[in-house]
Amino acid sequence: MIKSYTATTREIDDPKVAAAEILKQLDIKNNLLKNSLGIISCYAEFGETGALKAVCDALPFDCIGATTCLCASGADVDFIMLSVTVLTSDDCFFKTTAVKVEDGYEKEIDSAFKKMFKDAGGKPSLIFSYFPLLHTVSGDMILKAADKATGGVPLFGTVALDHTLDYSLAQTIHNGKMVREAAVFGAVFGDAEVKFDIASLDEDRIRKQKAVITASSGNILIGVNGKSALEYLEEIGLKKEELAAGLGIVPFVVDYGIGTKPLTRAVFALTPEGHAVCGGEMPVNATLSIGHIDAATVLNTTEKTAAALSKSGGAVLSYSCMGRFLSLGAENTLEAEKIRGAMGKTNYQFACSSGEICPLQNNNGKLVNLFHNHTIVFCQLC
């Protein structure tokens, strides 16, 4: 059994005060069981002022997580905030590791997990995963390496985000240190009861026309129905100028044909050749539809999924795509507030994401690790 506690602070300038606020709320002297893990979401400048380090140094267990532009926990929703969720247990235990994502990162991830599993005496039931936001290596690529290295252990988490226009301060967190290029993992060993769910687009926000991906390279969509990606999009009424102006709100809905729910993919750019640069893998022979995301869709899908989870009890971690945040316009805290309202007394942590990591069940009931865009993902530990 895993118990959970949450705490927040808005004190960004005084590290001692920030640590004291977190300690007071967590009451770790009375609440900690034998083994614990801290999961953190925070505004990037908590790292620059030393407040993040002070909080982590004050906690007698490992802490992992990532920066974000908006987070929520308990009654608090804010941009400039640090949130901590503590998982604590007598019969489960936790191990963490961090791997630099540079040349040869696949081998480094494999080595790190081999060592972790050997030290623990077996495989974990779940691995919390926090990936860097990089131009050279996508979150989907890191997920594939981690999935292979772990042999398919369920992976859940987010890609780092921040509040800047170029996301230059987006970093992962490991024991008080923020790192630009590191993937950070926290494994849960023991019989943890875990539920996963996602919410993306309402059915009425997905076009009925379906196409087939006929050419691609990783996350680059090259051909659809035998035409270039751009030719196909223009054929169904999406002009190049309109796409260039609103790529972030034209999600692709992709059915991999593996028996899971379809995945939503963001479109980041159109190349001069007419290819679409997407936020995740676009495999040949997958089925493609075009979606539309707006504020009503974001709030409706989030509220329904969060309300269902809140009835089960247990800590909830939730990460929502930056595309959903942008779709809310000036009222960009509304999704976080919907989560707060739905969760009631449930311990939860919500944060905005630049890529979501969450497994889904296929037709055989097996969990498949997948990377998402334009999606809110949920992990509940009961």
The torsion angles phi and psi of 273, rounded to 5 degrees, stand at -80, -5
Please report the pLDDT score of residue 113 as a whole number.
98
State how beta strands 177-179 and 267-270 pair: unpaired
Write the pLDDT tens digit of every residue in 156-204: 999 999 999 999 999 999 999 999 999 999 999 999 999 999 999 988 8
The reported pLDDT for the residue numbered 204 is 87
Burial (CB count within 10 angstroms: exposed 0-12, middle 13-18, buried 19+), residue 376: buried
Three-class SS of residue 300?
A: helix
Pairing of strands 3-9, 82-89: antiparallel
For 45-65, letters b (16+ CB in 10 Å) and e give: bbbeebbbbbbbebbebbbbb
Average pLDDT, the chain: 94
pTM: 0.95
What is the structure's pLDDT at 233?
87
Determine the pLDDT at residue 268.
Answer: 84
- The pLDDT of residue 345 is 86
Helices (H), the chain: 15-26, 28-31, 45-49, 51-58, 105-120, 139-150, 229-235, 240-245, 295-310, 322-327, 334-343
Distance CA 290, CA 134 (A): 26
pLDDT at residue 245, as a whole number: 58
Query: Per-residue pLDDT averaged across 310-327, rounded?
Result: 91
| pLDDT of 314 strictly over 90 | no
Mean pLDDT value across residues 197-223: 93
340's tokens: 């707060």
**Residue 270 pLDDT greater than 90, yes or no:** no
139-154 pLDDT tens trace: 999 999 999 999 999 9
The three-state secondary structure class of 368 is: strand
Residues 162/124, Cβ–Cβ less than 8 Å: no
Residue 264: both structure tokens together: 């939503």
Question: Per residue in 222-249, pLDDT tens?
Answer: 999 999 999 998 888 877 666 665 555 6
pLDDT in tens, 76-126: 999 999 999 999 999 999 999 999 999 999 999 999 999 999 999 999 999
Residue scoring higher pLDDT (35 or 204): 35
3-state SS, residue 284: coil
Pairing of strands 348-353, 315-321: parallel
Q: Is the pLDDT of residue 363 over 80?
A: yes
Rounded Cα–Cα distance for residues 373 and 279 (Å): 7
With beta carbons less than 8 A apart as the criterion, state whether 188 and 94 touch: yes
Q: What is the pLDDT of residue 135?
A: 87
What's the pLDDT at 220?
94
Q: What is the pLDDT of residue 197?
A: 95
Q: What are the CA-CA distances from residue 65 to residues 20, 235, 363, 365, 371 (Å)?
A: 20, 43, 32, 29, 17
Q: What is the pLDDT at residue 249?
A: 61
Instruction: Give the percent of the chain with pLDDT over 90.
Output: 84
pLDDT score at 203: 87
